[in-house]
Amino acid sequence: MTTQEPYVPPPSLFLALSEAHRAALEMVLLGVSRRALKKISPRGDGHAVMVLPGFMGGDGYNSTFRRFLGGLDYAVHGWGLGRNLGPREGVLEALQSRLHDLAERYEGPVSLVGHSLGGIFARELAREHPDKVRQVISLGSPFGEGRMTASIPARLFTALNPPDQLPIDQDVLSHAPPVPTTAIYSKYDGIVNWRTTNQQQGHATSQSIEVRSSHCGMTFNPAVWLLVAECLANDPEHWQPFERASWRSLVYPDVQLSPNASKH
């Protein structure tokens, strides 16, 4: 039986109305910082990375982000399923098939990076196939309790995906999948309430990292790009939580770890 979720309000009217303007500013900041980002970001080891778009988005929306990660020596792929309209018939099966194909082609587990709804898909893929997933990084993904009232596009999502037809177990969405898991969230999110996007029920290799970003601009935000590069370079066999030492404390306001998370 599904338990009654707590009510979590959507973002404030100010955050919602300023969302597009703030996302545009993030794109401008990215334009002037891309060269520096490529120089200071850690290089990859060639493993496969799949980037999953948010609700109503497609691979085109995060193509610049994927090119950046590819330039760091990762084998980067989109999800290849067109516009993300939710877990409709055949979507999860197609994602599972794509995950298995990538893991086989690159002879190892795949890192999954998902924006918003894409992050929820990534977490569920890792829950079902932990042997095929190296780590999960979610960007503003509302997996926490109260997510349906906390999201502005919830009504559209529900219209396209009736709750009684969802193929995902709603009671476990808030629990971290059994792989290294990073939830990136922003208190300035104008689409979903940030309280539903950070990891409360975690494990020894889970963390939540706060950034200053709009929701729609997360795949264009320079600080998010650098953070994802840092997380992807983390060796899952010797996982270490993100540290806010020195200047990082100015860019990343907070890092939340599970009580039993690994530490230096």
The H or E element spanning position 17 is: helix 13-40
Q: Identify whether the C-beta of residue 212 lies closer than 8 Å to the C-beta of residue 253.
A: yes
Q: What is the pLDDT of residue 163?
A: 58
Please determine, looking at this structure, whether the domain spanning 13-257 carries the CATH number 3.40.50.10320.
no
Q: Which of 85, 50, 43 is nearest to 65 (CA)?
A: 50
Provide the 10 A C-beta neighbour count for residue 21: 12
Sheet of 206-211, strands arranged across:
75-77, 48-52, 110-115, 133-139, 181-186, 206-211, 255-257
Q: What is the pLDDT of residue 168?
A: 66
Q: What is the pLDDT of residue 151?
A: 80
Q: Identify whether the C-beta of residue 126 lies closer than 8 Å to the C-beta of residue 180.
A: no
Q: Which contacts (CB < 8 Å, 24+ apart) does range 253-257 have?
A: 253/187, 253/210, 253/211, 253/212, 254/209, 254/210, 255/207, 255/208, 255/209, 255/210, 256/198, 256/199, 256/207, 256/208, 256/209, 257/202, 257/206, 257/207
Give the integer Cα–Cα distance in Å for 136 and 224: 15
Give me the numbers of helices (H) and strands (E) for the chain, helices first please: 8, 7
Report which DSSP code applies to 198: S
Q: What is the pLDDT of residue 236?
A: 87
Give the integer Cα–Cα distance in Å for 22 and 120: 24
Q: Which of 231, 220, 226, 194 is nearest to 57 (CA)?
A: 220
Per-residue pLDDT of the chain (264 residues; tens, 9 = 90+): 345 678 888 899 999 999 999 999 999 999 999 999 999 999 999 999 999 999 888 999 999 999 999 999 999 999 999 998 878 778 889 999 999 999 999 999 999 999 999 999 999 999 999 999 999 999 999 998 877 776 877 666 665 555 555 556 677 888 999 999 999 999 999 999 999 999 988 899 999 999 999 999 999 999 999 999 999 999 988 999 999 888 888 899 999 987 655 443
- Encoding tokens for residue 163? 């709750």
Query: Can you spell out the DSSP letters for 24-51?
Result: HHHHHHHHHHHHHHHHHSPP--S-EEEE
- Encoding tokens for residue 110? 């795949």
Report which DSSP code applies to 146: T
Q: What is the pLDDT of residue 264?
A: 39
Q: In residues, how long is the chain?
A: 264
